[in-house]
Amino acid sequence: AQSVDQPDAHVTLYEGASLELRCSYSYSAAPYLFWYVQYPGQSLQFLLKYITGDAVVKGTKGFEAEFRKSNSSFNLKKSPAHWSDSAKYFCALEDTNTGYQNFYFGKGTSLTVIP
Amino acid sequence: DPKIIQKPKYLVAVTGSEKILICEQYLGHNAMYWYRQSAKKPLEFMFSYSYQKLMDNQTASSRFQPQSSKKNHLDLQITALKPDDSATYFCASSQERNSDYTFGSGTRLLVI
């Protein structure tokens, strides 16, 4: 069965530091992986995706993520972090078996960037 | 202008009652979805529809019934409401097999 794990419920760091949010997945086929961000009181916004090709993908707002097949991970990175990055981040796996875009989400990581 | 309209934004319901959550998308997408976000669980996929037909249902309870009166509408009827149904319900849409996937702003439901 497919699943997504985000082991860190909360991450706190100071502005200017480098951030890395962890995500691991379990899926029997080639994964389609996504990161979404949710600001307080708002809906989810797309950040980036990995479908195939280069292991490092770049997205919006200066974020990038690295796909590592060897350890089934898709960690989100940004350097330097800015206070406006404070939000909840969700890693998601698309179930490509259905033919439609059904996503399986991790529980999310709440990021706090201290100015 | 919002591309996906969800109404109402907030909803309080009494246990045992029935409510309908509205979703309309103006993106010209063929597929629409419902997700649920509760405090205890990760964002959960519930339903997917394509051209007004049910494609996938991951919701165990028949109390949740999607209704698609038009191609760009996918409402969610919930009957016999329970306090555990309290959550934010997100509607989303996309083109088939296209990752231009957009979420609505959600309906926050509280069942008392």
Q: Which residue has the higher pLDDT, A44 or B60?
A: A44
Q: How far apart are CA B112 and CA B109, in angstroms?
A: 10
Work out the percent of chain B whose per-residue pLDDT is above 70: 95
- List the single residue in B42, B56, B105 with the smallest CB-CB distance to A100: B56
Enumerate long-range contacts of B60-69, CB under 8 Å, 24 or more apart.
B66/B34, B67/B20, B68/B32
Asked if residue A56 lies in contact with residue A65, where contact means CB atoms within 8 angstroms, the answer is: yes
Give per-residue pLDDT as tens, A13-40: 999 999 999 999 999 888 899 999 999 8
Nearest CA in chain B to A102: B45
- Measured between beta carbons, the chain A residues lying within 8 angstroms of B96 are 99-100
Q: Which residue has the higher pLDDT, B42 or B72?
A: B72
Q: Residue A50: which region, alpha, beta or left (left: phi > 0; alpha: psi -120 to 50)?
A: beta
A99 burial type by CB count under 10 A (0-12 exposed, 13-18 middle, 19+ buried): middle
Backbone angles phi, psi at B67, to 5 degrees: -135, 125
Smallest CA-to-CA distance from B91 within B41, B16, B27 is with B27
A55 burial type by CB count under 10 A (0-12 exposed, 13-18 middle, 19+ buried): exposed
- Measured between beta carbons, the chain B residues lying within 8 angstroms of A100 are 31, 48, 50, 55-56, 94, 96-97
- List the single residue in B42, B98, B106 with the smallest CB-CB distance to A43: B106
